Amino acid sequence: MITDDKRQLDREMTAILAYLPGWQLDPRYNDHCWCAALMDGTGRGVHVNIQQTKGRLYISGVWPIDNDHRQYIPNRCQHITIARDRSAEKIAAELQRRFLPWYIAAYAEQAERVEQHKKSRSRQQEVTAELAALSGPEATTRMQRNPNQIYAPGLTVDVNGGGESVSIELRYKTVKVAKAMLRAYVKAGGLNDS
């Protein structure tokens, strides 16, 4: 339910937007009763909370999220507060002077972390597909639980990290197969690979 406080906050944010070209109210916050968000169209956003500080606007950042729905937040997050009774022009000026320079730089760092995560996941999926093909037609990947795990009779392969390491578990294999696997492992330099 939309409260009078929320209606007032949205009016205040709309007035501030006149002094922040390229920014707009985020419609995903329409139903919130004590906060709003201003978005710039590139994914960056400023979260405005009226509940945490009496008579002041509590300003914090909206952070990028990866494909696994994990949010990337800096280790040292900053926020500012601004007196709510100031003019829209002065609030926008304070926001631009005291918060946005830090936030835009910090957001770029977090967006880079998201991009690295995407590349790492992509590489992990490529390696999983490659190893599944090498494991033969009976090998399957289990998409629901762990898409980077390969199953075959008596064999489980987990592709870890960004596809740079694997864990292989063999079960119920003959001694002959075990010896052949160990010879191949030693020959490939596996004992010295760490």
For the chain, which residues make up each domain, given as ranges? 4-118
pLDDT tens digit sequence for 34-52: 899 999 989 999 999 987 7
For residue 141, the model assigns a pLDDT of 67
**Pairwise CA distance, residues 194 & 189, whole Å:** 10
Tokens of 108: 């770029």
For residue 1, the model assigns a pLDDT of 61
For residue 99, the model assigns a pLDDT of 97
Low-confidence ranges of the chain (pLDDT < 70): 1-2, 141-145, 193-194
Helix intervals (H) in 18-167:
88-94, 100-134
User: DSSP strand E in the chain: where?
Assistant: 24-25, 35-39, 45-49, 56-62, 80-83, 140-142, 146-152, 155-160, 165-170
* 37 neighbors 46 (Cβ within 8 angstroms): yes
For residue 143, the model assigns a pLDDT of 52
